[in-house]
Structure 1
Amino acid sequence: MLAMEGMVAVVTGGASGIGAAIVERLRDEGATLAVLDRDVSGVPEGFVADVGDDDSVRNAITAIAERHGRIDILVNNAGIGAQGSVEANDDEEWHRVWDVNVVGIARATRAALPYLRQSPSASIVNMASVVATVGLPQRALYGATKGAVVSLTRAMAADHLREGIRVNAVAPGTVDTPWVARLMEATGDPAATREALEERQPHHRLVRPEEVADAVAYLASPRSGSTNGIVLAVDGGLPAVKV
């Protein structure tokens, strides 16, 4: 029997990039998937929702529970990026990115909690980032939100463990996704930018989306039943290894 056979997993931002890799990985484990995203064209298990809008999130979660009868896993993957030093973004942008990356987790989680509480093996996995633990240039706003995700993960783990809900996070390094590719193209010299990003990683390559998905699958699975409140790094050892 597969580890997630009979379980229902919700993945926010699951229509592309890391989210799509997570969806495929959890499906391989036997889970029934529900994808929350703003655009779910071509995603048969998709539910339209914007984590920046509470009503759309609540409506989507309710629809998932009504269709499948349960929710066992929530992967809070949806997020947006930001570049620049602390002075590079105005207040509106600070609020916009914070609202999606941090408050978006709160919206999806509080909508799903009534159903997670009924699961015999409930798990929440939040998407953090290496920038939560390592200061990287031009990532002030993004790093602030991901640092908040780490703190929020630990607080949620403490709040909900007695309810039978585990909460953990995954912190990837730079992942080879379409979003990162667009950032490299915008520099005017994508080849040189890629080389610099690869050299920054101790294993001299970008992280593959499938590697992040494997980490999420472990934390979401009943196989990690004694794992709670951790942040699992998938970054080639960037904070800890110097080569």
Structure 2
Amino acid sequence: MAGRVYVITGASGVLGSAVARAVAEAGSPVALIDFAQDPPAEPAGPDVFFQGGVDLTDANSASAAIDAVADRFGGLDVLLNIAGGFSWQTHENSLVETWHRLFLMNVQTASNASRAAIPHLRRSAAGRIVNVGANAALKASMGMGAYAASKAGVHSLTQALSEELKADGITVNAVLPSIIDTPTNRADMPKADASAWVTPTELAAVMLFLASPQASAVTGALIPVTGRV
């Protein structure tokens, strides 16, 4: 990993912060992009570049943020699309705005960031895009219609991009977590067995393998990372 330039969207969230720590600990330059204005508490240092207040649902904003990373580090090798959102609503009571918002947060952010990154990734010896889908999108349960549909869009985007970029040596894959062990999920499901959930650190490890040169034979894969759920 050392020396490869990583871009992480949604970097101020629980998963984004865990991935950022893992990248920084490995000695790689890392760019952190988030809609939030405040950077995560860690990592910090000269090889950490934070851009806050970036609306990745806007193609121009995404392009400017990605280009700024390439200017700062002289290029980029890996894009980790973690930015996204969740909402639980039964379909009967769901709002049109919820469907639109989740599509923008989950699909459009990944699409815009990827489009902006592709020209830079073509110049890498081992360009990588890793998206975050959802195991719930394989078989949606009650109240998960809008969320699952948006994450299914991420899955399809992943597979389409993998075909488009094969000839360029760029791999595109997605991890499909079940329930991630976060403070929010613990608060929302206080009676659940959190020990069966996937930790951010475990999910980060799978993502960083897919981002590595060693994963060159894997592209277009939708990889469940479901713990013991």
Q: Could you state the TM-score of these two structures normalised by the residue count of structure 2?
A: 0.91
Instruction: Please list the CA deviations of residues 47-79 of structure 1 after superposition, one character each: whole Å capped at 9, or x if unmatched.
Output: 121222222211111111111010100001100
Per-residue deviation, 1:169:
0.4
Q: How does 1:74-223 map to 2 (within 5 A)?
A: 74-182=79-187, 184=188, 190-192=189-191, 194-195=192-193, 198=194, 205-223=196-214
Cross-structure match for 1:241? none
Amino acid at match of 2:200: P
1:20 to 17, 20, 23: 17
Percent of aligned pairs sharing the same letter: 33
- Select between 48-57 and 160-169 the one with higher mean Cα deviation: 48-57
Correspondence for 1:31:
28
Separation (CA, whole Å) in 1 of partners of 2:174 and 2:141: 20
Hey, what's the Cα distance between the residues in 2 that align with 1:227 and 1:80? Answer: 27
Please state whether the residue corresponding to 1:100 is helix, strand or coil. helix
Give unpaired runs (5+ residues) of structure 1.
Answer: 185-189, 199-203, 239-243
- CA offsets 1:155-209 (integer angstroms, 9 cap, x no match): 1100101011100000111011133245x1xxxxx532x24xx5xxxxx622111
**Structure 2 residue matching 1:83: 3-state secondary structure:** coil
Q: Which aligned runs of 4 or more in structure 1 are off by greater than 6 angstroms?
A: none
Q: Flag the 1:179–1:51 CA change in 2: closer, same or farther, 3 A.
A: farther
Taking only aligned residues, the RMSD between alpha carbons, in angstroms, comes to: 1.6
- CA shift, 1:103, in A, is 1.3
Amino acid at match of 1:191: P
Evaluate the alpha carbon distance shift between residue 223 and residue 29 of structure 1 in structure 2; reply closer, same or farther with a 3 A threshold: farther
Deviation, 1:40, is 4.6
Q: Does 1:46 align with 2:50?
A: yes
* Contact 2:196/2:228 (8 A) holds in 1: no
- In 1, the alpha carbon distance for the partners of 2:184 and 2:57 equals 19
Q: Secondary structure at the match of 1:233?
A: strand
In 1, Cα distance between equivalents of 2:216 and 2:60: 32
- Contact 1:40 / 1:46 at 8 angstroms: preserved in 2? no
Greater Rg over alpha carbons, structure: 1
Shift in CA distance, 72/16, structure 1 to aligned 2, threshold 3 Å: same
| One-letter amino acid of the structure 2 residue matched with residue 140 of structure 1 | G
Task: Answer with 88-97 or 111-120: which moved more.
Answer: 88-97
What is the TM-score with the length of structure 1 in the denominator?
A: 0.86
Q: Which runs of 5+ in 2 are unaligned?
A: none
- Indicate conservation of the 8 Å contact 1:215/1:232, yes or no: no
